Amino acid sequence: MLIQQEAKISMRFNDLAFNDLAKPGYTPPAHACDAHCHVFGPARDFPFAAERKYTPQDAPKEKLFALHKHLGFERSVLVQASCHGTDNRAMVDMLNDAKGRYRGVAIIDETFSDSDLQELHEAGVRGIRFNFLTRLVDAKPAAYYQKIAEKIEKLGWHIVVYFESENLPNIRELLLSLPAPLVIDHMGRPDVSKELSEENFQSICSLVAAHPQNWIKVSCIERLTRQGPPYSDVIPFAQHLVEHFPDQVLWGTDWPHPNMEENMPNDVQLVDCIPLIARTPDLRKKLLVDNPHRLYKFE
| Residue closest to 244 by CA, chosen among 214, 199, 223 | 214
Handedness of CA 20, 94, 49, 217 (dihedral sign): negative
Where b means 16+ CB within 10 Å and e means fewer, 115-147 reads: eebeebbebbbbbbbbbbeeebbeeeeeeebee
Catalytic-labelled residue, pool 34, 185, 254, 267: 254
* Residue 254 among the catalytic residues: yes
Number of Cβ within 10 Å of residue 11's Cβ equals 12
* Residues 272 and 235 sit within 8 Å (Cβ to Cβ): no
- Can you give the three-state secondary structure of 195-215, one letter per residue? CCCCHHHHHHHHHHHCCCCCE
| Residue closest to 183 by CA, chosen among 210, 154, 153, 216 | 216
299 residue type, one letter = E
Active site residues: 254
